[in-house]
Amino acid sequence: MIVQYGEQEVKCSVRRTASVSGRVRIHVYPSGDVEIEAPENIDVDQIKTAAQRRARWIFKHRDAAIATRLDALPREYVSGETHFYLGRRHKLIVKISGAQPSEVKLLRGKLEVSLPVADRAAVRRRLNAWYNARATQYLGNKLAEICNHITWVDDLPPFKLMRMKTQWGSCSPNGTIYLNPALIRAPRHCIEYVILHELCHLVEHNHSKRFFDLLTRNMPSWLAAKQELDSLAELILAGDD
Ligand SMILES: [Zn+2]
């Protein structure tokens, strides 16, 4: 069944079901596929009318599903694709400029990489170097700032960036704080949560009730930040290779 919205149209599959009480229900899947669930006793014209009435909703959700899927694909380092920085999507612009040395500029929602040749590997190297430099600076400053606000740290603990596949941070038994440089792609409050979490491990080297009490006292909203970070993990790590 075809649903139209302005100039656009989308093919929807129709599934007949006995369980729905007289209502037509529409599902938009993460793949972007649209399914119309309709009771047995409703004829095709009625289904079409019901689906057409919700065309705007269908297209909005389908476009969002497709955008999310594109975000999760491996990056190709070409103009137009999006890269996360501090939780925001930035459009990558690759600019060929033979005159200047290569550089990365962050401006109004865009990440502009200028270099002598449009070579994807070179764009990737240049961009990753920029992300690493930003991560070193931003995460280091943030760690120092949070240490200023908490009572149990006198001297700044040793801090290192370390790429990790499944963790955002860790705290070694000797008190070194390790942070995943990919965090620089996450929203600021999620970064703060991870840093505070690791700093709490300087006192409690476990996930005991005392650990979570300490964390909650210092960041009452930590659970929301953690859930947001978990939900973004796939998108953020897709861009970090
Ligand atoms: Zn922990």
Residue pLDDT, tens place only, 184-236: 999 999 999 999 999 999 999 999 999 999 999 999 999 999 999 988 887 78
Residue pLDDT, tens place only, 82-106: 999 999 999 999 998 877 778 899 9
Average pLDDT over residues 16-40: 86
Any idea which residue has 């070179």 for tokens? 122
pTM, entire model? 0.73
Sign (positive/negative) of CA torsion 90, 80, 227, 131? Answer: negative
Distance between Cα 158 and ligand 1 center (Å): 17
In the predicted structure, residue 126 carries a pLDDT above the cut 80? yes
In the predicted structure, residue 19 carries a pLDDT above the cut 70? no
16 bridge partner residues: 38
Q: Determine the Cα angle at 220 with ends 215 and 223, to 5°.
A: 80
Distance between Cα 114 and ligand 1 center (Å): 40
pLDDT reported for residue 7: 77
Distance between Cα 186 and ligand 1 center (Å): 18
Residue in 125, 116, 112, 121 with CA at minimum distance from that of residue 83: 112
Domains of the chain, CATH where assigned: 2-71 (no CATH), 82-237 (3.30.2010.10)
pLDDT reported for residue 20: 59
At 138, list the tokens: 């931003």
Distance between Cα 88 and ligand 1 center (Å): 26
